[in-house]
Amino acid sequence: MRQKVPVLIVVTLLNLITGCNPTDDKADPGQVSEEFGFDTPHAVSQTPSTQPLSPEESLKTFRLPKGYRLELVASEPMISEPVAIAWDGNGRMFVAQLETYMQTVDAAGQNEPRSRVMLLEDTNSDGKMDKASTFIDSLLSPRMLLCVGHELFVNETNTYNIYAYRDSDGDGIADQKRPVFEVEENAFGNVEHQRSGLDWNLDNWIYVTIDPVRFKYTNGQLKVDSLTSGANGQWGLTHDNHGRLFFSRAAAGLAATGFQINPAYGQLDLEGSTPAGFDEAWPIIKTPDVNGGPRTLRSDSTLQKFTSITGQSVFRGDRLPKTMAGDYVVAEPVGRFIRRADMTDSAGIISLSNVYPKDEFIASTDMNFRPVNTFTGPDGCLYIVDMYRGIIQESAWAQPGSYLYYQILNKELDRNIKNGRIYRVVYDGIKPGPPPRMLDASVDQLVEFLDHPNGWWRDNAQREIIVRGDKSVVPALLQMATGENGSQANPTTQLGRLHALWTLEGLGEINPEIIVKSLRDPDIQIRKAALRMTEPFLKSGNHKDVLSELEVLTGDKSQDVLGQLMLTLSVSKSKEADLLFQRIADQNKTNALLNAIQQSIRKNDEAKRHGYRLMSLSESERTHGKDGAIIFKTLCPTCHGHDGEGLPTRIAPPLVSKFKLIEQKEGLIKIMLHGLTGPVDGVQYNDIMPAMGANSDSWIAAVLTHVRYDLGMRSFPKVGEGFINWVIVQPEHVKKIREQYKGRSKPWTWEEIIADKPQ
């Protein structure tokens, strides 16, 4: 439990001892003690107005803990429908805007290229943007941003392509565009079910949500790498100081997933990583506009559990109380609040808990407050992106006749569009940090920034050094990585050493000598990073000397290190690596984390052999099934669980085991085309199945072929020679059902589906 110390006493004592002004630019956040309480009680507004408020009026509706304040950074008309932000090395802010998102209740014009990326600047360093320009115009809902040197990488909705934009003449408007990643296929899924992120992680891989890929920046291009077990999460992606990735699954009400191991090794979500009740929501405003209707609300009409949790970050700044450093922050736009969670590491097992039990970090009584993203800024503060709009759910969840559709029209939520706010969270007694000038800094200065107390600076310094490719700093990086550059009075921090090590990796300057030194380092995170850096040697077969070093680590006292050692050994195909892996397993048979890692590796290996199950099919059918598997792993686990086994949150029905929904061939096609609502087989689930009929017949057929053949083969009895033909779903099957019910616009009920069940 966090200790509560009166702020005034601590600050007064520090002033007497040091003579420091607590608002001085160099004020240490660690010297300001945080109180974990609120000045006002938790009370629910039962009569909220749906009318949009001015930014100044809206600020009065927020409830924050003692000492915290929100400051307005930007608002309409400067910005409109913001969803994501990114800063370049000089602190200029780029804003991605979905300007055609749900401008009407039926999403009219949503696929028109009328969105923009705005460039905002704070010319007087007061924290508020005062200069704006349209950096890129005529985009189709830009959803991912990443600043790389003097370029901005952008991805748009409905495409996998990523382009780099640059302003060559300094007028604030991009005048150069080049592709950095292109594919011929169009992206599938609605706006909410496409990728986000583009997060350059500590390990120099760039990660996204949804799609089972990651990228490496090489010679100005993004080189793609497949993630065998699929991707994770929905909207929002972040990493912590040690490179753990945090996803969230809004539809399933899961605030944080995928953080126990890197997705390159598979997926692992441990039970107990969040305590019972962590998914319970505590808004201060009645929340009638929910997908699930009244059954998902408490008696006071507030949201009972997460329903649209999204846009998470790990706070890594240096200008809020140190007690907040490393905390997990995530937005709930339906509940109109921001959750803050403690993150603890117990022998390698990461767990989260609400800092404010039965309460929320930041909450509003403004009906139009729609937080969709959070970020650590270059000034060391926390930033919140607020779409500030009436409708937040995409039209697939607000079909005519639904409860949500009625609420939107009844409360006129569809009338508030084209607004948006960006806030920063500040704390009394701590002044935000100065703006960076990283693009103008020398490469030697960039090396110094690798040990900056603000994680934003460390990340961007590492990226900028790698982008420049200046290897003159390699000797300095080697000294920094081993801690040989700091003095006894001012040693390089563990985080500075980690960044130096990964910067060397990004420059292609990791050698066996530095790896061996790092494997023997007393710091756990340094040893873990070094283990990952041995993997190219293990994969290449040049592993004899490496394995001898890894053998020593099989007796490591840290189960965190042992877990990474197992993951690292799993990439090798050698018998020697298998023996070391088995030795760790045999010595730790009762270890929950290591047992879970073994299971994850086994599942990942099974996924690599996925095609074997399809060998009895024709070549075209195999391709069909594999395409469906990719789509399924990208979209469906969020609600139906891995391999369709369901989720504990019961957001949607399981597709396998005793409940054999997959046996309904025509019924499944109907559900995919038009959606499903209400109880299923007597069980009420938390959400509706949205209609997927906007996708092609081939797309729907591919998904259902995977569901029925690859998943369904586990429970279907193999009867008769026509079994395979009955299982496979062909595009013409979908076309037939589509034409038969072409006038239908509402979702099916389970009773309607089973009424036509074939014998």
| Residues 373, 231 share a domain | yes
Mean per-residue pLDDT, 131-135: 98
Predicted pLDDT at 539:
87
Helix, strand, or coil here: 690?
coil
Q: In whole angstroms, give the CA distance from residue 318 to residue 63.
A: 23
Grade residue 128 by pLDDT with cuts at 50, 70 and 90.
very high
| Residues 661, 587 share a domain | no
Query: Which amino acid, one-letter code, is at 403?
Result: Y
Q: What is the CATH number of the domain that holds 482?
A: 1.25.10
**Is the pLDDT confidence value at 2 over 80?**
no
Whether 475 is in a domain gets the answer: yes
Least confident of 513-517, 692-696, 710-714, 741-745: 710-714
**Is the pLDDT confidence value at 81 over 80?**
yes
| Residues 655, 689 share a domain | yes
Predicted pLDDT at 632:
81
Whether 56 is in a domain gets the answer: yes
Predicted pLDDT at 487:
67
Whether 151 is in a domain gets the answer: no
Predicted pLDDT at 743:
86
Predicted pLDDT at 21:
35
Structure tokens at 608: 């690599």
Tell me: the pLDDT tens digits for 531-569?
Answer: 999 999 888 876 677 888 899 999 999 999 999 999 999
Q: In whole angstroms, give the CA distance from residue 425 to residue 29.
A: 14
Mean per-residue pLDDT, 622-631: 74
Q: What is the CATH number of the domain that holds 624?
A: 1.10.760.10
| Residues 210, 295 share a domain | yes
Predicted pLDDT at 657:
52
Q: In whole angstroms, give the CA distance from residue 587 to residue 581.
A: 10
Long-range contacts of 478-482 (CB under 8 A, 24+ apart): 478/504, 478/514, 480/447, 480/450, 480/451, 481/514, 481/518, 482/514, 482/517, 482/518, 482/521
Query: Which amino acid, one-letter code, is at 547?
Result: L
pLDDT above 70 coverage of the chain, percent: 88
Whether 101 is in a domain gets the answer: no
Q: In whole angstroms, give the CA distance from residue 257 to residue 247.
A: 5
Predicted pLDDT at 198:
95
Q: Pairing mode, if any, of strands 748-749 and 676-677?
A: parallel
Grade residue 281 by pLDDT with cuts at 50, 70 and 90.
very high
Q: Which position has the higher pLDDT, 662 or 102?
A: 102
- Gyration radius from the chain CA atoms: 26
In this prediction the pTM is: 0.84
Predicted pLDDT at 8:
33
Tell me: the pLDDT tens digits for 442-459?
Answer: 999 999 999 999 999 999
| Residues 263, 352 share a domain | yes
Angle between helices 524-533 and 494-506 (to 10 degrees): 10
Long-range contacts of 115-118 (CB under 8 A, 24+ apart): 115/81, 115/139, 115/140, 115/141, 115/142, 116/142, 117/142, 117/145, 117/152, 117/154, 117/165, 118/78, 118/79, 118/94
Give the Cα-Cα-Cα angle 749, 755, 757 (nearest 5 degrees): 110
Q: In whole angstroms, give the CA distance from residue 77 to residue 94.
A: 16
Give start and end residues of each alpha helix (H) in 182-238: none
Query: Which amino acid, one-letter code, is at 392?
Result: I
Q: What is the CATH number of the domain that holds 595?
A: 1.25.40
Q: Is the dihedral of CA 660, 665, 666, 671 positive or negative?
A: positive
Contact 93, 85 (CB under 8 A): yes
Tell me: the pLDDT tens digits for 326-345?
Answer: 999 999 999 999 999 999 98
Whether 272 is in a domain gets the answer: yes
Last residue within a domain, chosen from 395, 427, 459: 427
Residue for token digits 């039962």? 46
Predicted pLDDT at 210:
87
Q: Is the dihedral of CA 103, 106, 109, 113 positive or negative?
A: positive
User: What backbone torsions phi and psi does residue 667 show, to the nearest 5 degrees?
Assistant: -65, -40
Last residue within a domain, chosen from 377, 401, 427: 427
Smallest Cα–Cα separation from 340: which of 386, 384, 307?
384
Mean pLDDT, the chain, integer:
87
| Residues 363, 323 share a domain | yes
Whether 500 is in a domain gets the answer: yes
| Residues 516, 447 share a domain | no
Helix, strand, or coil here: 637?
helix
Q: In whole angstroms, give the CA distance from residue 85 to residue 416.
A: 22
Contact 136, 142 (CB under 8 A): yes
Peptide bond preceding 400: is omega within 30 degrees of 0, i.e. cis? no
Tell me: the pLDDT tens digits for 485-517?
Answer: 766 667 889 999 999 999 999 999 998 899 999
Whether 161 is in a domain gets the answer: no
Q: Which helix (H) or strand (E) holds 385?
A: strand 382-386
| Residues 742, 682 share a domain | yes
Q: Is the dihedral of CA 21, 23, 27, 29 positive or negative?
A: positive
Contact 682, 754 (CB under 8 A): no
Query: Which amino acid, one-letter code, is at 727?
Result: V
| Residues 295, 310 share a domain | yes
Predicted pLDDT at 211:
86
Q: Show the domain range for 469.
A: 441-509
Smallest Cα–Cα separation from 686: which of 191, 329, 308?
308
Contact 286, 299 (CB under 8 A): no
* Strand runs labelled E in 68-161: 68-75, 82-87, 93-97, 115-121, 131-139, 142-148, 151-156
In the sheet where 115-121 sits, what is the strand order?
82-87, 93-97, 115-121, 131-139
Predicted pLDDT at 617:
59
Least confident of 58-72, 145-159, 706-720: 706-720
**Is the pLDDT confidence value at 289 over 80?**
yes
Predicted pLDDT at 158:
93
Kindly report the number of other CB atoms within 10 A of residue 744's CB atom.
15
Long-range contacts of 675-684 (CB under 8 A, 24+ apart): 675/396, 675/399, 675/747, 675/748, 676/747, 676/748, 676/749, 676/750, 676/753, 677/402, 677/747, 677/748, 677/749, 678/749, 678/750, 679/750, 680/653, 680/750, 681/653, 681/750, 683/650, 683/653, 684/295
Grade residue 722 by pLDDT with cuts at 50, 70 and 90.
low
Predicted pLDDT at 718:
45
Helix, strand, or coil here: 382?
strand
| Residues 364, 382 share a domain | yes
End-to-end CA distance of the chain: 60
Q: What is the DSSP letter of 464?
A: H
Q: In whole angstroms, give the CA distance from residue 337 to residue 323.
A: 20
How many domains does the chain fold into? Answer: 4
Grade residue 94 by pLDDT with cuts at 50, 70 and 90.
very high
Whether 716 is in a domain gets the answer: yes
| Residues 596, 706 share a domain | no
Last residue within a domain, chosen from 454, 476, 509: 509
Burial of 712 (0-12, 13-18, 19+ CB in 10 A): buried
| Residues 618, 598 share a domain | no
